[in-house]
A = this chain, B = another copy of it.
Amino acid sequence: MATAANSVAHQTLIKLDPFVLAEKQKGVHNRWHPDIPAFVTVKPGEVFKIQCVDWTGAQIGNNDYADDVRDVDLSKCHNLSGPIAVEGAEPGDCLVLDILDVNYFEKMPWGYSGIFELENGGGLFAREFNSRAAKAIWDLKGVYATSRHIPGVRFAGVTHPGIIGTAPSAELLAKWNKRETGLIAQHPNAMPAVAFPPDPKGVYVGQDVPQELRDKIAREGARTIPAREHGGNCDIKNLSKGSRCYLPVFVPGANFSVGDLHFSQGDGEMAFCGAIEMAGIVTFSASIIKGGVEKFALKQPIFLPSPVDPQYASQIVFEGISVDLHGDGKQYNMDATVAYKQAALNCMAYLQKLGYTREQAYLLLTAAPVESHVGAVVDSPNACVTLGLPTAIFEHDVLPRPEGLTKRDFGQCAIRSDGVI
């Protein structure tokens, strides 16, 4: 007979409350540093769960104004759960992480996508749009998301952690800080900033550590914004539940951390706060391949995608090239980022023909499972990038018909309470 005695639940190793500010909780840190001690340790093969707050640490609410997005304190982001040590891991090994599941908290079945202000957070089109805060709240209903702020769509989430990474060694950390501060020095007054240097403001470690160590981490710790050699903030939508990833190990124990959970995201995550951001629970198992860095020439993580990623084969694909058509018509030199932006702008223009506002279109593309492929990056001077909009996520027909597109009224997403867009 089935009994509690013959049933063993998977242990939750880090428990958090998604309604409490992250800085007040244990097991949450917000910088990468080799000296942050492992918060928990697991054995190879063990199945375990890690809870995560949302990336802002509960700063954003389920309401119909975007003031919280406008005022977000980014010095406290991202909030990572960990570090988690794996027994036996040593530098040069490969950490094999099975992302067995990613779920939202039962008590918090919602997430959000946000457009940040140009001066606070930015985003891919921050300058082009002179961005003001906006957001969409998404209701999470099992495998699906819908939004009262973007009516007419429903899609299955390709649910994943935006951030997963091993702790850097001291050498690697020094390299990161050197190259990134170098870039900042080249762009002294950039708006939005091109990169973010170590900054003691807002740092927390999530554990009781000596003050001296805390200060060192605050002073040297790498910011969590970019992806780097250890993984980090990859924001790869297909590093999703069901995938298996292979990460290089730089410190004893590997000491990996995880956070920035996304219920869904489009390729490119264009609005920066661009996925459906959520708090939730990740189920893992971990193992070690000795000497895996050398065995697989592992400069950066590799992964095997999941068999349960949503399938949206029917798409409208938009092309983009590295010419800024919408503005000054400038010719760029084989720049795939510009080409991606053009494809996205072309898609947004199409969505506006359907009746979505620019802000809704921007938020939709950042949250829905759109696919962006690098078409070609060799045909000088134009990189060509495509962006595929899945048609089955819409409740209405969106195909390009001879009679044109039907324009509907979808209202507007959540904006600032002062009405500024």
Contacts and interface: CB of A to CB of B under 8 A. Distances in A.
A329 B107 contact: no
Size category of the A interface is 35 or more
A346 interface: yes
A62 B296 CA distance: 34
Interface in A359-376: 371-376
Contact of A289 (B62, B226, B376, B400): B400
A228 to B, nearest CB: 7
Given A1-B61, A7-B109, A373-B371, A330 B179 contact: yes
Interface in A334-389: 334-337, 339-340, 342, 345-346, 349-350, 352-353, 371-386, 388
A297 B381 contact: no
A185 to B, nearest CB: 11
Interface stretch (A26-34, A198-206, A320-328, A411-419): A320-328
Contacts of A325: 229, 299-300
Q: Is the interface of A mostly helix, strand, loop or mixed?
A: loop
Contacts of A317: 236, 238, 302-305
Contact of A58 (B2, B303, B402): B2
B350 A227 contact: no
Contacts of A228: 321, 323, 382
Contact of A299 (B233, B349, B388, B402): B349
B225 A380 contact: yes
Contacts of A388: 305
A399 to B, nearest CB: 8
A125 to B, nearest CB: 10
A313 B319 contact: no
A110 B297 CA distance: 33
Contacts of A152: none
Interface stretch (A79-87, A139-147, A209-217, A249-257): A139-147
Interface of A: 1-4, 6-10, 18-19, 47, 54, 58-63, 68, 94, 98-101, 106-110, 122-124, 141-144, 155-156, 175, 179-180, 182-183, 187, 192-196, 225-229, 231, 233-238, 241-242, 246, 267-272, 274, 279, 283, 285, 289, 291-292, 295-297, 299-321, 323, 325-326, 329-337, 339-340, 342, 345-346, 349-350, 352-353, 371-386, 388, 392, 397, 399-400, 402, 404-405
24 contacts: A1-B59, A2-B19, A8-B109, A98-B141, A124-B377, A141-B285, A179-B323, A226-B382, A234-B375, A268-B376, A269-B379, A270-B378, A299-B346, A300-B318, A302-B318, A302-B350, A304-B314, A304-B317, A305-B388, A307-B392, A311-B313, A314-B392, A336-B336, A372-B374
